[in-house]
Structure formats: C-alpha cells, structure tokens
Chains A and B, each alone.
Chain A
Amino acid sequence: MMDYAIEIEGLVKTYPRFALDHIDLKVPEGYVMGFIGENGAGKTTTIKTILSLISPEAGQVKVLGKRPEEALSDVGSVLNGSCYPDGLTMKDMQFILSHQYKNWDSKEFARYLDMFSIDTKQKFGTLSTGMKMKGMLAAALSHHAKLLVLDEPTSGLDPVFRDELLGVLQNYMQDNGNSIFFSSHIVSDIEKISDYVTMIHEGRIVFSETKEELLDGYRILCLSAKDMGLANKKKMIGLRKTEFGAKALVRTEDFDDKKYTLERATIEEIMLYWIKKEEARR
C-alpha cells in the first residue's frame, strides 16, 4: 500500500466570497507535487489547512499519516507573505528556531546560509525579496523535515534565483522518502521539478495526475476554419479561435492524430484551457 505525505479527503472551507469545495488530494511519499492555479484559486487556503493554520469545516487532512498539528515537527514550510521580523538577523532566527525543532541542525543551517551567501548578522528587513525567501527556505530545510510545504516560493524572484532555488529542492529530494508540496502560478517551475501536478480552480480540483500522464494525456488540437464543423466540440476543453481557425485542448485518446493536427501541450497550456472551459461553463 502506498504511503502518502499528504492525504486530503472532502475538504470544505467556506469564506464569504470563496470556498474550498470538497477537495481530494494525495501526495505520495517521496514525490514532488506541484499545485497550480491562478491567483485566488484556493492554493494558499489548501496549504493553510495542511499546516493547521485554519480548520476545515468538513473533510479530513492527514500529513505524514497524522493530524496536521501533530506532524509539524517533520514539516518545513515557506509561506507566501509571511516573513521573519525585520529587525532580526538570521543569527537570531537560528537561536529561535533551534528551540522549536528537536531535530534542528545548526551546521546544516549554516551550510545553507553560506550556500545562499546570506550574512548571518544582516537584519532580515534589509535583505532582498529573493534573499528573504532563501533565508526562510534555509530554515525550512534545516530540521530534517520529511515534507516541505512551499507556498509560491518562486513568486517575485528573478529566473536565476528561481533556478537556484529549484536546484536546492532537487537536492533535498535526493533523500529517499522526502516529499514536496509546492504551489506556484509560475507553471514552468512546476514543470521542472514536479512528479505530480494538481490544478485547483475556484476552490475545486480540476485534475491531479502525474506529470507524464498529464503531458501524454492532453494535446492541442489545431483546426482550420473548414474543419471546425467536423470535430466533436463536446470533447474539446476550452476552444480558442485563432486567425486561421481554432485551437482546443483535447484528450489524446479522443482524437486520431492521423486525421487531425495535434500538438503537445505544455502544463501552462493545459491550465489555461481548463480555466477557459470552466469560465465558459459558468
């Protein structure tokens, strides 16, 4: 039986203008799951339930087989929009965090800070956005967490920083059994490191598949103006009119590549077409 780093079943959380609507999601141990969706889709709210920052109204959340609050010692997290206090240094944070985690590894923390070229005596408020993110990631990686939960860790970072950060995450995954749950609206980052991709839209899970299943399972159907009437529109996911006809996302098995022009779809295209379909449905 497969063990799961995160198991969410029937999660419901309602706010006045937004709701998580019966979310089901499973992250197998030892894998990276990318969590995609546009801003306001429900990524952060889902992550907050994983970290026990909010309580669900219905459903069950298990982290490393336990209730979220019981698993916190084995979870490293980086939250979007939260920072260490501006006046503190990473040296201060080292002291604070070493008293929170039994498995805190000061050498590992120093190694990461050195790798990221962060001065331990520099106040957090004077660090750049990228350096702050790296500092928090260093902390998340320094208590031998079995699961990393990262909320938009690459948001606002330049491509070089992002690439470096993804490299660090790939190194973290070298240890067997480690898992990452990684939300981002920068889909190219997800595509680089994820084994599984889950998309959320308006509080509902649209798909949750392995990256290979996703990339093999969808194609972009290119239709000329005269072919428009021939193809089965019911099997199209989000249709976009172009100068020469139309393009639509389709399931690979639904259309014969000998009869139609089918192109490989990127995860970003899959996401955009799904959003288009959902918006058309409303």
Chain B
Amino acid sequence: MIGLIFKDLRTAVLQFKLLLILLVMYFGYSIYLKDLAFFASMESVLVLVLSMMAFGYDEKSGWDRIACTFPGGRDRVVVSRYLFGLIISTVMAIAHVIMGIMLRTQASVIADSLLIAFSLSALFMAILFPLLYKFGSEKAKLIFLVLFIGMLAVSSGLLRDNESYVFDFGRVSNVLILVGSLGLLAVSAWISCRIYRRKEF
C-alpha cells in the first residue's frame, strides 16, 4: 500500500507549482481578510481538487489496469486512495494551524474551525470517491458539482461569520463530529471497494 500512496503523493507533487500558487493565494487572501474561515473552506476544496486530479491522472494513463494486476487484491488500491486523501487533509490541517497562529486566533477557535474543515474534507471525499469509482472522473465531477453547490449552502450555514466561530451543532460534541465524519469516510471506502471489485478494465 505504501507504494500506491507514494504514487499518488508523487503525482500530486508534480502539480506542486499549481498547488503552491493556490496555497499562497489562499494564505495571502485569508491574512488580508484576517479570516480563518475563508482558509478553512478552501482547505476542503483543495483536498477535492487534488483527489480529482489523482483520479484523472490514473484514467489518462490507464493506471488502474496496471494496479489491478498487482497481487494483494483491489481493495488496497481503493484504501490507499482514501489514505492519500487523509494525508492531504492532514497537510491542509497543519497549514490551517499555521494560518491560525499567524492570525493570532484563539486556540479553541483554531481547533473548532480545524475540526469543521477536516470534517468537511472527509465528507467531500466520502461523497466524491464512490462517484469517481462508479462513473469515472468526467461524469463524477458533474454529479458532484450539483451536490457541492448544495453542500456549500449547508456548510456556509454551519460556519457563522462572526468572531467566535460558534458552530450550530447543538449538543453534538466536537468528538462526535470527528468520529461521524471518519465513520462516513469508512462507509464510503467500503462502498468504493465494492464498486471497484466489480469494475472491469
């Protein structure tokens, strides 16, 4: 699995210039706005963009046909892609913390917004990845775009644009949000594995 994750990370690094430009842009604009929420919302988008690029890259090269001839079963290919997504989310989370410190944001606010950003990334991956495995990157992008607009409306409601970043989850604890999003991701991985096992190349 290490090899497969390495492949995704290596190909992501190849897009390094594009990523760096995007990151600097978001970083700069967030500092200008003094708004951690803006950066938080962009984290999930960056995770999405990178994941879509990884899928598109594989489709272009016919990588799946090669990967499925590796011993050890097809599930490894799917799980490694989810782990890749989590690694990217973690990198974004680190950038989030750095941004929070630079903006001199309260630690509790950084933690809360980080949690939401990470949960959103996980939610996006949980929805997008099975679509990508089922329909391929072109169709999946279109389907997800429709869903994304809906999710954007919901997520903008969750992230209140005020100083304290209070979240509207009522009694639902932060821990449950994290567990819930990771649980969704696990269910999504299970669905993707089932789709991928039946897929013909």
Interface residue ranges, A against B (CB under 8 Å): 48, 51-55, 69, 72-73, 75, 77, 79, 81-88, 92, 95-102
Top 5 A-B pairs ranked by shortest CB distance?
A: A99-B3, A82-B62, A73-B71, A96-B3, A87-B14
Provide 15 A-B residue pairs closer than 8 Å at the C-beta atoms, listed in order of the A residue: A48-B200, A51-B69, A53-B201, A54-B200, A55-B198, A81-B65, A85-B57, A85-B63, A92-B7, A95-B3, A97-B3, A99-B1, A99-B2, A100-B3, A101-B70
Residues of chain B within 8 A (CB-CB) of A51 are: 68-69
A86–B200 contact, CB under 8 A? no
Given A82-B61, A85-B57, A48 and B201 contact (CB-CB distance below 8 Å): yes
* CA–CA, A69 and B65, complex, Å: 13
* CA–CA, A96 and B3, complex, Å: 4
> Given A72, A83, A92, which contacts B61 in the complex, CB threshold below 8 Å?
A83
> Given B2, B69, B201, which contacts A77 in the complex, CB threshold below 8 Å?
B69
A122 to chain B, nearest CB (A): 14
Residues B1-41 near A (CB distance < 8 A): 1-4, 6-7, 10-11, 14
B71–A53 contact, CB under 8 A? no
Query: Assuming A54-B200, A96-B6, A97-B3, what are 8 further A-B pairs, CB within 8 angstroms?
Result: A53-B68, A55-B200, A79-B65, A82-B62, A87-B57, A92-B10, A95-B3, A101-B70
Q: Does B172 contact A (CB under 8 A)?
A: no
Count of chain A to chain B residue pairs whose CB atoms are closer than 8 Å in the complex: 79
Return the chain B residue nearest A100 by Cβ.
B70
* CA–CA, A101 and B58, complex, Å: 20
Residues of chain A within 8 A (CB-CB) of B7 are: 85, 88, 92, 96
Residues of chain B within 8 A (CB-CB) of A52 are: 68-69
Residues of chain A within 8 A (CB-CB) of B66 are: 79, 82, 84
* CA–CA, A210 and B3, complex, Å: 41
* CA–CA, A79 and B198, complex, Å: 20
Q: Does B72 contact A (CB under 8 A)?
A: yes
A53–B69 contact, CB under 8 A? yes
* CA–CA, A85 and B68, complex, Å: 15
B200 to chain A, nearest CB (A): 4
Q: Does B73 contact A (CB under 8 A)?
A: yes
Residues of chain A within 8 A (CB-CB) of B4 are: 96, 99-100
Given A54-B201, A81-B62, A83-B61, A88 and B70 contact (CB-CB distance below 8 Å): no
> Given A81, A83, A98, which contacts B3 in the complex, CB threshold below 8 Å?
A98
Return the chain B residue nearest A89 by Cβ.
B10
Residues of chain A within 8 A (CB-CB) of B14 are: 87
* CA–CA, A100 and B80, complex, Å: 13
A100 to chain B, nearest CB (A): 4
Residues B69-116 near A (CB distance < 8 A): 69-73
B84 to chain A, nearest CB (A): 13
B33 to chain A, nearest CB (A): 34
A87–B11 contact, CB under 8 A? yes
Return the chain A residue nearest B7 by Cβ.
A96
A85–B3 contact, CB under 8 A? no
* CA–CA, A83 and B58, complex, Å: 10
* CA–CA, A72 and B66, complex, Å: 11
A85–B70 contact, CB under 8 A? no
A72–B2 contact, CB under 8 A? no
B69–A86 contact, CB under 8 A? no
A82–B3 contact, CB under 8 A? no
* CA–CA, A100 and B7, complex, Å: 12
Residues of chain A within 8 A (CB-CB) of B1 are: 99
Residues of chain B within 8 A (CB-CB) of A86 are: 60-61
Which of A75, A81, A85, A99 has most chain B Cβ within 10 Å?
A85
A88–B62 contact, CB under 8 A? no
Return the chain A residue nearest B63 by Cβ.
A85
* CA–CA, A99 and B201, complex, Å: 22
Residues of chain A within 8 A (CB-CB) of B3 are: 95-100
